[in-house]
Structures are given as structure tokens and as C-alpha cells.
Amino acid sequence: MKTAFINNTSHEIHEGETILEFVRRVEEDEHVIPTMCQDNRLENFGSCRICSVEIARDENGDKKTVASCHTPISEGLYVYPHTHKIHRLRKNIVELVLTDYPEDKVFPENGKKATPFQQTIQQIGIPNVRYPEGANHLDIDKDTAHPYIKSDLSQCINCYRCVRACEEIQGEMVLGMSGRGFATNIIKGFGESFDTSACVSCGACVQTCPTEALTDKFKTKTLLPDSITRTTCTYCGVGCQLEVSVIDGEIKGIQAPETAEVNEGHTCLKGRFAFEFYNHPERLREPMIKRNGTFEEVTWEEAYDYIATKIKSIKQEHGPDAIGGFSSSRATNEENYLMQKMMRVAIGTNNIDGCARVCHAPTAFGMQKAFGTGAATNSIEDLKEADAIFLFGANPLKGHPVTGAKIKQAFMKGVTSIVVDPVKTKLAKLADYHLQIRPGTNVAILNMFAYYLIGADLVDTPFILGYTEKYQEFKDHVMSLDMDALSELTGVSKGLVRDAAIAYGRAERAMEFHGLGVTEHFQGSKTVMLLSNIVMMTGNVGRTGVGLNPLRGQNNVQGAADMGVQPHQGAGYLDVNSPEIQNYYAEKYQVAAMPKKEGMKIPIMLNAAINGDLKALYIMGEDTIMTDPNTNHSIKAFENLELIVVQELFMTATCNLADVILPASSYFEKDGTFTNGERRVQRVNKVINPIGNTKPDGQIIIDMMAKLGYNQPTGLKYNASKVIEEIADVIPFMSGLTWEGLGANGLQWPINESGEGTKMLHVHGAFKKGIGTFHHFDFKESPEIESHIDEYPFILTTGRELEHYNSGTMTRRTHNQDLLSKDYLEVNPKDAIKKNINDNELVRIFSERGSVEIPVKYSKNVKRGVLRTTFHQPDVFINIITGSVGDEETLTPEYKVVAVDFEKIN
Amino acid sequence: MANKNIRALSYRKGLDDNLFENIAEVSNNKGTDTEFKELSKKYMVDDSVILGTSSFYDFTRKENRNKKIHICSGTACMVSKKQGDVINFAKANFNEDEIGHAACVGRCHTNHAFMLDNKTYSASNAESFNDILKNKSIQKNEYNVGCNTKSILTGPVVDIKSFYSLAENYRTLNEIAVNVLKTSKLRGRGGAGFPFWFKLDTVLKESADQKYIVCNADEGDPGAFSDMYLMEEQPHKVLFGMYMSGIIVGANVGVLYVRGEYPDSIRILKEAIDLIENEGYIKNFKFKIIEGQGSYVCGEETALLNSIEGLRPEVRVRPPYPAQYGLYGKPTVLSNVETFANVHWILENSGATYAKLGTDASTGTKLVSLDGRFNAPGIYEIEMGTNLNTIFNEFGKGFVEPIKGFQIGGPLGGIVPLSKVDALTLDFESFSSNSFLLGHASVVSIPASFPMIKFLEHLMEFTALESCGKCYPCRIGSQRGFEMLQKAQETHFLIDKNLFNDLLETLEIGSLCALGGGVPLPMKNALHYFEDELKSYFN
């Protein structure tokens, strides 16, 4: 055992530890040595020197002063953290700092928490400033233009923490330092304000700033809250842990806890700042029934009775399969579980589907076919081990900002990086290889990729032979393809694909991530299966730092599917068509029988509504009208229904068409769990009481089930931990799941009987389905292109922006809307100029389905012939023009390929 | 280690299309904001990186971009009291805002120094100044050169081709070469005196796809011009040392970071490099000259590495040392011009022969720069261990005016009173045991008529101006020290002695690098040896 000394007492040292870490660990006190510039999340920097200690080689030997934060501890070293000399040094440094720091900010304001700087100087002892007045920065202008982030650099102590956080946590370099010596100053971009700079508003700088030089508009760091509640963010599949401060029942600010395994003290502008929607004046607060075309507020009882009566009568007249349910990936696991249970048990139909249908259903389907499990094989933390990253059809900087920032940093630091995307995203620009394909040619590019892997003999034959089947068929197929033709088709040169494939093949640990650019296609499921082929043929599965990792879109889209929000599989992915399984569920749910017939997927349900086969829709938290493609088709379907029930936070486009609206509580107002994109089940803890007369979705479903004649065995009051007990009993791979067992950082499923989670699936070739299966496919042009490209020669592809979350129901009701208030149509300048259209000009974009108006943004990030836009803003309503083509297997809509044209508005 | 992302992005274009050179070029051409922002895009960094770097250096920051003439403000020129003349000459020909300053242009022997049109000059009268303005022709920097022992550094290179061919003998014997250098006990000549072989040995043992040799030719110490001498008069000795080091450790690139105030050195080195590359005297090795943009702290090795990378030249934390994590984070042999210049002689004559010269701990010779207050200013190659008085008398030949002391070893070197000169010998140990610093062995004489308080103010101001601004003691402390020393001369203000001592201690033990950490030494020497002169400024 190696040891070193603190004040002449011997203690064990750990490999790679700094003196600061050593002393903190031994003394079990994070503040035992005062610090200013140090932050556990940042590289050690050594600017403030406050953490200096004396060291000696021998007991009472010659002492030397070193900064403990960046000096490694070494065997036999004597550390003296608190000598007179050191105390004097610290106080003298503080005195220097105070010569350029506002006098009235030395002590905390009344009713405010001390800043870390104020705490540190208190700890050291606040000296009298003996220096005569000299140069200072006390008159520096404040920057208050940004909706969230403010700076008052008169309080800046030049610790560089914000600058380092910007680079080292978020992977941006918006904050910097200018000048030198005493004249150094924090700058944003090219010396501008936060508002006009390239700031991504993540707030990492604000959180790390030890003074109030950087604050958010909520002054979160100096709040003295009544309570701080840890919960899980609702804004994407990363699953950031948040700490929410509450005063007098109102949310006052959010910070990211350093102890969070997922986000390690970081989060994005949505998680950190976009919470003000929760008590927005437009929140639905009372149940409503539409009578004579207008909504009237009613009591819950009245609403429930109205719905129950209608459902019962429809069921009686048309059978249970005339009723369908859409569940929500924003709701908790428990609520999704209850929702599918209501449909299957209380109503008696498998017509339950969710928004995975419009996003990652092909991932689940394709990966189940290849590996046996439709979920990410690895964990995000594996990024640290990967030496290559293959990013396919995803822009995590926008959609999954915290994971995106990690990927971006890996790219910058020089990991082998390959991006397949029709759009030249920031990550694509940073990547070693950007395969800028024509939208819709994923299968073609992957066949090319495999061809060159085989050609360069970069396949892992022992892995293929040992753990997989049908490789030879795949190989024969791929090798028979004409690369020139595929290159022509994809628009990517053979050389580039070959080089990228070789780089991927040569990597020791290549990690794949993909997003909706893979799934929202006619050949979406096939693309997933081909991606599975790529990782299998190179042995990039079943180890750390590798794998096939879908970036799940919504916070709980993984969980919703796990809970059985699918027409063909119940809770835990068991096949509802199997009599054995039907008996299993019947027994678990203590009912006589389960529905026998597989249910309808969302697009089928909509068609059934138009045909008159579906009579009622019960929707929990989805704005189907705005988010599903071909809006006019959806409206037609809705208008044909006898009953539409919507549980919602706000009056959405879907609500407008409803018969009954049930006001739901937001995620701040309830308990439950979300499962993130790496299968991590994490707790959602109630932060405040439900707003107005709202109820958590789980409570509404339990009430509804009771009205429909089924009493939820866990009790008539929604209790997440009790529902979890039931889920653990029903879902085999969650048998060890308990509310308490989840702890602060959750568990990744499978969760075994003893409550242990799983970081990695299919370890060392042990595929869930026994053996990994190769599939092979030819590229097939989407019917959208086949039928419409002649008339509508541009391909529109849709995506997300950082500031908004899908249809923007929540984010548009926060100051994020001030940061980005419009959807834009990105057009290659050459295409725009040819049509005599200016930058920012409003144009009409149209397809076979309809037309909308949208402003143009010149962008060289799209090739000629390709257009890109977002779908956040209802004033554009882009889905009016998107089409009805879906994935061949799962019917997931092809949002990424829409044949359109656009024109000047005269 | 901070800035790994920016460093990695800069590495993508590396030395071939170097970020720092691009920033300097845009600045020097008075580039528009748009041009700077284009650079951000090209290197895929944000604008703050480009502005952060360009605002750091004297020659690239916006407020200095229209300067046409830079008048030397170095210590040797200051004590010579000749710079007032140059300022007057300049004012007669330039607008006030076109006149800038340079902290030493290496004309410490003649003074009257300035930089114009990327050349340095001395002009002692208006006529010669006007003549320079008109012709802008190169003015050869001439000074005395002498040697009291084997002329390792000052002897001529007779046949350049055969000079370089020595390297071939060691191509496969790199460990033996390290041993020869170990036997020689050659220590780094930049000031710190770190055993040179150890750096080679460390980098040799590192495994990396890329390694570098970096020559610290940022001779920023006002009063020192010995590296300038080597670059201009003995460039092949320097280049050979780097080339040989590259062969030893397996590096194929050598970077010379030469201060921008030495434009002649840069021109001469370029010619020398062209020659050996074109003639094929060196194999599988490329040289790259990076031109400094006016910053003293870049002489600090880690700031220098950041500077080459185009980052702000802020001092890095150590460990990791440059031998492990150097230029672009790659293992790097980084040493001073003079250190490299010794390598050829050692390998040719054996380490033991070299070690016989000098003292046991300080072997070999050292170049000494004597300033213009000596009767015979110049560069002298002196065997380590030689008495200082001997050097001053035999080589310097006494003084042009009465002298009360010397600052030896640069602005962070000690202030040696005249009375102590005889007690010192030219080696690391003699200086440190007497609480002085050999440093780079530059000698600036302090005339009896020059107020010591003003000298101290100059040193503190220099530190404040040149501080990188990263660590608190140096950034704030040097500014406050400067303000107090200035105020004490202008008003009846008395400096609180306890406060000043606290400040010196804070700087000395608290600073991140030798800049803030070093300035207390001359202060303390002065307070000790010139107490009578200074006491009226303190309470």
C-alpha cells in the first residue's frame, strides 16, 4: 500500500490522485482546502492558487508551496494544508481579489444564499484591503439581452471556470478570455453579448461561476429554496437528472446535480431553463366537454361518466376493437403501463399505440430481428472507450444536447468519426467522413459500406462464425451489387464510402449511434437491420465502447414500448397473439381473458376511423394532429370519430378536435419513472402539487378504469412505487425493479431478481435471441419519390432545433420561444436564387397533400434539390404537406423524404 | 489539462497551415472582423478563440495594429537613457498613435534601438534616423564577441556539409547519444538549468505517432542577446542540435519559436534552413519557424507551446511536462537555443571532454551578454566557474559611467550590487547560493544615477504588462505592486512595508510560473542591498 502524509499522519494514496483529492478524501470534507477555480467536472487549471499547500519530502524537511489541485500526490510526500504561511498566502490572495471586486458583493444579500466565492472567502477570513485604489473592472457593462443568461463582469474573479465549462462540458468555445495580464476579460464570441453570440444557452457557465458574474434570470445559485427535489428531465432520451428548487409552491430554478451519472452536473437549455410552461396561463386546469361546438368546464365526475358511458355504448355496439388508444412517451412508465392496461383489460382491445410509431418503432423491430432486443446495446459512458463513432441520421447536438456535447468533444479530440446525414450538421463538419447522401438512400449506402468492409477484409470472421447466422447470404448479396450505380444513387463517391468503411473497420472499438434519419423512412426497419449487420460483421457488439445505440427521441419512448404501448406486444414485449402469453397476462392482471386479436398501429387506426371501423380514440398526451404526417388525412379521421378523449397540458390542435379534454399534471407534479435511451429507469419525483384541478395521467387512467369496471389492484390512488411492484411482477426483465432500489441514478434493464441492472446487452456474442441474424436487402426507392418526384422535384427532410421539443407544446410556452420563434425552410442558395427567392423571404411550399407558408433560410448545409425544415411551430404546420408513406414493416411515417416544390408568394 | 478540444482542432491543420500564423497574418494585415471570423470557421473553433489569441499579443491586438515604429522599452535601453532621443526622432516623423513599443529588440549594446518595417535599428542622431526611414535597409547588428576557453559556441562552422554528417553516426545509436549528453552534464541554458539528456531520454521512451523538437528562441529577457547571436552568427549549431535531438527521440519536425523582435534572426535562420534542406544535408526532418508576436511570457515553455498552437499563451499546469504532453499534446523536446547549440561539440568531442570544462555541477561554457553601459559590450563565451569580476573587467573593460549594481539573468534575475560582483562565479550554484540567479546570464548595468525605485517600478510594470493573466498572484499582484511603486514616486504616498512583503511572498510562492514567481527576487535584493536609497518610499 502506498502512503503519504497529511500533517505527519500517514494515509493511503490512490493512483492518479491530486493532493487536493487526496486530502479531501482522507478528511471526508470537500471544503477542507478552499478553492475558487477548481470544479470537479473541469480539468485542473491552477489559476487562483487558493488551494496551495506546503509539501516536503521529509518530516519537517524543507517545505515548498504548491497548488494542490494540479499537483499529484506521490508516495512518501508530506502535505501540510494549513500552515501559517499557507493561511497567510490564501488571505493575501483574497485581499488581491477584493481589490477588483464590488464591496457590496462580499457578503450575501439578505435572504440569498452565499455564492461559492462568498463561502470561500468567509472560510479563509475576509481581509481588510490595504492596497490603495488602483485600476479595476468595476464599471464594466452588464449584459442582459439574453432571455436566460446574464453577465455582470464587475463581479468576475477571472477563474476561467465559465470559459472552461463552455469548452470542456458543452464542447463550445463561445466564452473566451481576451487581452492579457490585468486587462484580461471574459468575452462571448467575437466580443459580443450572449444573445448575439453562438451561445447554445446550456447554462454550464452559470452553474460553475462561483460569483454572480454569470447568473440565470432566475438567480438559481443564490436561491434559498423551501425544497430541492431531484427528478428526471422530460425533454429527451438522455434522461438528465435535475435538481428543482421550490419556494412557496413555485418552481424557482433548476440546477444539474454533479452526482448524476447520466449528465454529470450538466444539462441543456431545455432541462435547465424551459420550465416556466408548468404554470403558464394557458395550462388546462379544468376538465371540459365539448357541447354544441364549444368546450364547457365540467367536474371530473361528469367528464368520467360522459366518457365511460360513450365507451361502453360504442363497445356494446361495435365491439372493443372500435376503440383505440394513443399513449404518451412523455408520461411515466407507470402511466404508460396503466394506459395499455386500460385498453387491454378495461376496454378489451390491443388497439394501443404510442409515439414510438412515429419515431423508433423500426429500431425496436429491426434490432429484435437481428439481436433479439429492441434497445441500445451499450451505455453512453462507453463513449469514453470508443475509438470510432459512427453517427447515422442523427443530430444529437440539437436533439440530445448532453450526449451530443460528449460526441462533439470526442469528434474534436480526434476519435475516428463518420457521419451519414443528408444535412451538413455541425457534427458532420467536424467528422473525418461525412457521407452526405440523398435522403432515402440509407439501404444503398449501407450496402456500399458493407461491400468495402468485405473488400478490405475488415470483417471479424471468428465473431461471425461463432455467434451469427446467414452472413454468407448477406455477403453474396452485397458483393453482387454495382457500386457505381449505388454511388450514383446516394450521391456519395465510392472512394469516400470505402475510406469511411475502412476507418470504421480498422477501429478497435466502434460505437454506432442513430436517430430518426434511420427510422423515419420507407426502408427504416431494413436500415436498422443493415446497421445491425455492420456491427455484427465487425464484432462491434457485446463489448464496452461499441454497439448499436439508438438515440431515443422522447424522454420515455423506450419506457413506453417496454410497458407494452404497442399493438402487437404487451408489457415486456410479449407477443399478444400467443395464447400462452394471453393466459400469462390474464393471470397477472387477474382477469378472465385478454383480447385475442393483435391491435392496430396508429396509421391503421386513422384509416379505420376514415373507414368507419374505429369509433373512439382515447389519447393520453399526444398532439397527433400536429405531429403525425399528412394533417388533412388525420383531421378527416378525427372528424369521423364518435368520441375523442384527450389528456393534455395545453389546448393543442388535437384538443381542438376532442369531445372531452382531461387536464393532466406535468412531470413536475407527479411521481413515476422514465427510461432513457440506454435502458436506464430513473425516478421522476414530484416537485410541486398538481396545478389547478389537474391530475396526473396515472390517476386519470386509474379513475377511468374504475369507471369502466376494473379496479386497479394497487389502489384507487395513483402510487408510482406500488405500480412499479406490479410492473416488476409482469415484465420478466424487470423482476428486481423497486422504487427504492432505483436510488438516485436509476438502473439499466434487464434488472435481475437481486435488483442489479445491466450496462451492456449481448455480451460476448450472447445475443438475446440466441444467435445474431444477418438480413439482406436491396435498395428500393420510396413510393413518395416514385409517384411524386416528377411533379414535386425537391426532397424535403425534417428535423429538430435545439430550442424546441417536438411540437413545442411546452417549449413554446417558455422563453425558448424568444430564442427561436420560427420554423425555417433551409434551402441551398443556388436553388433559391434560381427561383428568385431572397434569404428570409416567405415562400409557399407544397406537396401532393397541401401547402404551407414558411420563411426561407439560405443554407449551404443542404445539397441542391434538398430542403430541410423543423416542425415546432403551429403557425407553419409543416405536417400538412408530409406524406402517408411509412416504413414497410412498422408504418413509421417517412418524415425524412417528402416530394415537394416551393415558390415565391406573389 | 485545459483546452484539449481547441488544441486538437488546431492540430488538424497543425504546423502546415498554422492557426497562430494565420491569426498573426490577418492581424498584421489589419484584417477585418469578417476575416477573423473566417478563421474561426476554417479551424472550427468559435470566434472567442481567435479574438482571445489576437488580443493577447502586442503585435496582433487591435489597438496596436496601426503602429508603424516600435521603440525599444527594454531594461538596457531604459538605463542607457538614450531612448528619449529615439522617441523624439520618431515623433518628428510619425503620428503619436503610430508609435509603439517593443520590450527589447536585442540592441542592448548600442541602445537607441527600435524596430521598423520588420527590421531592427539603432540611431543615435536624427540624421541617421531619417536615413533609416528613407532607405529601410538592413542595419547589421554589430557587437564584440570573445571567448575565454574552448570556443564551443563562438567558433566557426567551417564545412556545413560535414558538420551535419555527424548526425548520421548516431542514427542507430540514439541511446548512446543520450549517454554522451548525460556524461557532458549539459544543463538547459534558458535559465532553469534542467539536465538536457533527461528530456531526450523521456521523449525517446514515450510512444507516440508524432513527436516534436521545439527550440525556445523567444529570448525575451531585456538585456539578453546571446540567443540572437547564435541564431544570426551560428545558426547551424542551433539547427544541428535540434536535428540531432530529432534523430535521437524519433521526431521529424523541429519548430523554432523566434521572437518577432528578432526579424534578422528569422531571416538568417530561414536561409540556413533552406540551405541544408535544399542541399540534402538533413534527412527526414523538417524545420518550421514560428514568429512570436510580442509577448514575454511566451518564453515560458508551456506558454510557448500554447502560442505555437494558436491558443492563448497562458501557462499550463505541470505535470504533465512537455516531454510527455508538449506541442499539440505530443511528446516534445523543448529547450533553449544555446542548449541545442552545444550538442554538436559534445558529440564530436565526447561528453567527458565537455564535462571537464566549468564546475562539477555547471559544466561547459555560457554566453554572457554585456549591455551598453560596459565599455566593451557584446557576447562572450565564458567557461562556467569564471569569476564575474574577471569577465566584467577583461571582457567588458569597465564602464562608461559609474555603476551601482547589475541585474543579471533577465527581469526576474537578481540585482547584484557592485560590491558582490567579486564574490560571484559564472555558474548556477554560485548565483543561487548568494540569492541571485544566473538565468540566461545577461547583464544589465544599473548606473549610479538611475533611481532604484524607478528600476523596481520598471520591473513590476514589465511583469504586469507581460503577465499572461491566468494566475491571481501575478495578474493582480504585479499590477498592485506596480501601482504602489509608481505612486510612491509621484506623491507622498508611502508603501506599507508589511503589505509589500506580503505581496512579494504571495507572488513568490503563489504564482503559477516563474514570471510572477521570479519578480520578487530582484525586489528583495534591492530592498536588501539598496535599503538606504529605498527606505524613504516605505513606511
Check residue A553 and give its pLDDT: 85
Nearest chain A Cα distance for residue B474, angstroms: 8
Check residue B232 and give its pLDDT: 97
Check residue A590 and give left, alpha or beta (phi > 0: left; psi -120 to 50: alpha).
left
- How many residues does this entry show for chain B? 539
Nearest chain B Cα distance for residue A404, angstroms: 15
Nearest chain B Cα distance for residue A459, angstroms: 25
Whether residue B167 has pLDDT greater than 90 = yes
Check residue B191 and give its pLDDT: 86
Rounded to 10 degrees, the C-alpha dihedral A124/A127/A133/A136 comes to: 20
Nearest chain B Cα distance for residue A502, angstroms: 19
The angle that helices B497-510 and B520-529 make with each other, rounded to 10 degrees, is 140
Chain B residues whose CB is inside 8 A of the A173 CB are 5-6, 45-46, 48-49
With a CB cutoff of 8 Å and minimum separation 6, the contacts of A575 are A568, A569, A581
By Cβ distance, the residue of B297, B472, B483 closest to A132 is B483
Q: Looking at the complex, does the CB of residue B10 fall below 8 Å from at least one CB of chain A?
A: no
Chain A residues whose CB is inside 8 A of the B328 CB are none
- Dig out the grid coordinates for A611 from the structure: 373507414
Check residue B41 and give its pLDDT: 96
Check residue A249 and give its pLDDT: 96
**Cα→Cα distances A412→A68, A190, B4, Å:** 29, 21, 9
* Residues A62, B443 contacting (CB under 8 angstroms): no
Across chain B, what does the average pLDDT equal?
A: 96
Query: Most B CBs within 10 Å: which of A177, A408, A409, A411, as the mutation test of the B interface?
Result: A177
Q: Looking at the complex, does the CB of residue B174 fall below 8 Å from at least one CB of chain A?
A: no
CB spacing of B472 vs A49 below 8 angstroms:
yes
Cα dihedral sign, A162-A167-A170-A172? positive
Q: In chain A, what is the straight-line distance between the N-terminal and C-terminal CA atoms, in Å?
A: 81
Q: Looking at the complex, does the CB of residue B513 fall below 8 Å from at least one CB of chain A?
A: no
- Dig out the grid coordinates for B245 from the structure: 535531438
* Residues A249, A237 contacting (CB under 8 angstroms): no
> Using 50, 70 and 90 to split pLDDT, how confident is the model at B121?
very high
Nearest chain A Cα distance for residue B259, angstroms: 18
Q: Looking at the complex, does the CB of residue B29 fall below 8 Å from at least one CB of chain A?
A: no
* A598-619: pLDDT as tens digits: 999 999 999 999 999 999 999 9
Which segments of chain A have a pLDDT < 70?
none
Cα distance between residue A54 and residue A61, in whole Å: 11
Can you tell me the ipTM of this complex? 0.97
By Cβ distance, the residue of A50, A176, A182 closest to B476 is A182
Whether residue B192 has pLDDT greater than 90 = no
Cα distance between residue A30 and residue A130, in whole Å: 31
Chain A residues whose CB is inside 8 A of the B319 CB are 72
Cα distance between residue A531 and residue A449, in whole Å: 10
Nearest of A452, A457, A468, A456 to residue A532 by alpha carbon: A468
Check residue B502 and give its pLDDT: 98
**Which residue reads 521523449 in cell numbers?**
B203
Residue type at position A258 = E
CB spacing of B510 vs A172 below 8 angstroms:
no
Nearest chain B Cα distance for residue A383, angstroms: 16
Residue in A closest to B294 by C-alpha: A180
Cα distance between residue B140 and residue B268, in whole Å: 12
Nearest of B75, B68, B81, B129 to residue B106 by alpha carbon: B75
By Cβ distance, the residue of B5, B467, B496 closest to A181 is B467
- Dig out the grid coordinates for A39 from the structure: 470544479
What's the count of helices (H) and strands (E) in chain A, helices before strands? 31, 36
* Residues B163, B144 contacting (CB under 8 angstroms): no
Find the angle CA(B402)-CA(B403)-CA(B406) to the nearest 5 degrees. Answer: 170
Nearest of A672, A683, A728, A606 to residue A336 by alpha carbon: A672
By Cβ distance, the residue of A65, A173, A178 closest to B45 is A173
3-state helix vs strand vs coil in chain A, percent to 5: 35, 20, 45
Whole-number CA gyration radius for chain B = 22
Check residue A468 and give its pLDDT: 97
* A321-345: pLDDT as tens digits: 999 999 999 999 999 999 999 999 9
The residues pairing with A523 across neighbouring beta strands, listed in sequence order, are none
CB spacing of B502 vs A158 below 8 angstroms:
no
